[in-house]
Amino acid sequence: MTRSLQVVRVFLLGVLPVAAQTESVSVAAAPPSRILAPAPAFRFPNGQKFVYSVQWHMLNAGTATIGMRRSQAGEHLTSTADTAGMTNKIFPVHDVFDADIDPMSFCTTKVVKHSEEGSRRQDRTVQFDYARRLSIVDEKDLKTGELKHTEVASPACSSDIITAFIYASSLPLTNGYTEMFPVNDRGKTTDVRIQVETREKIKVPSGEYHTVRVKAEPFSGAMKGKGVLWVWFTDDEKHVPVQMKSKLGFAALLFQLQRIDPQPGGP
């Protein structure tokens, strides 16, 4: 149970899959790992908050949200994860994740996360110094007051585990489309490979949608060969993520779009 709930903070607290056995990937077939600048027609989903239900083996495990707004830094993303019901009694989670994104390059420039997971309480800030190719990580244990500072080598541009959903939605997602991009979590970078698998119609609490199903898996780093995640994006120019599914051993987590709420910071 405890390990399965970690998927909430890893991929919706979103985007590095931690799941079941994956197929092997040929290095020769891999595209270069990169973050592509958004196309001129792309529009960030400012003023919208996506609210997802989280199910664990058909049980209501909680709620996750992703919202975006304009800010002085360019684009600002806020995501939350909260357990509910029996899951909350066994292993309560309350996470708040904030990220600043450069809208011209799609590089994440800063991440701030507040975590309450079980008995653990922690604040973490990751500042990206792309000029020096470093991720600067500062952590504070809110129970003991212990401070930790680390600097980790990073690429010239990367996404974070939640903004990666928005980044993937900006890509063409045509039949057979494949892309690989760096995703940073806690200062450490993993190359994530996505591939468009098929188009299908699905039903979630917010309605029925024609979707593009995309598989995402870690191609390099500590997570290589350990996970896979599927994301269903609406098959239109918005590419709204309406469903995500991940597995972890015997466990399974399913995220489904409940609704889209308006919020300040829209166009």
pLDDT in tens, 109-162: 999 999 999 999 999 999 999 999 999 999 999 999 999 999 999 999 999 999
Residues 6+ apart with CB under 8 A from 240: 45, 50, 169, 233, 234, 257, 260
Decide if 258 is inside a domain: yes
Q: Looking at the predicted structure, is the pLDDT value of residue 86 above 70?
A: yes
C-alpha torsion angle, residues 152, 67, 208, 170 (rounded to 10): -50
Q: Are 61 and 87 in contact (CB under 8 A)?
A: yes
Residue 56 is predicted with a pLDDT of 84
Write the CB contacts of 69 (distance below 8 Å, at least 6 apart in sequence).
46, 47, 75, 76, 78, 263, 264, 265, 266
Q: Does 50 reside within a domain?
A: yes
- The strand pair at 159-160 and 178-185 is best described as parallel
- List pLDDT tens digits, range 28-75: 456 799 999 999 999 999 999 999 999 987 789 999 999 999 998 899
Classify residue 267: in a domain, yes or no. no
* Encoded tokens for 64: 């996750």
Residue 203 pLDDT exceeds 90: yes
CB atoms within 10 A of CB 69: 18
Q: How many domains would you assign to the chain?
A: 1
Residue with tokens 């591939």: 195
Residues of the domain holding 213: 2-262
Contact status, residue 250 vs residue 23, Cβ threshold 8 Å: no
- How far apart, in whole angstroms, are the C-alpha atoms of residue 61 and residue 9? 13
Query: Is 256 a member of any domain?
Result: yes
Question: Looking at residue 158, what is its pLDDT?
Answer: 97
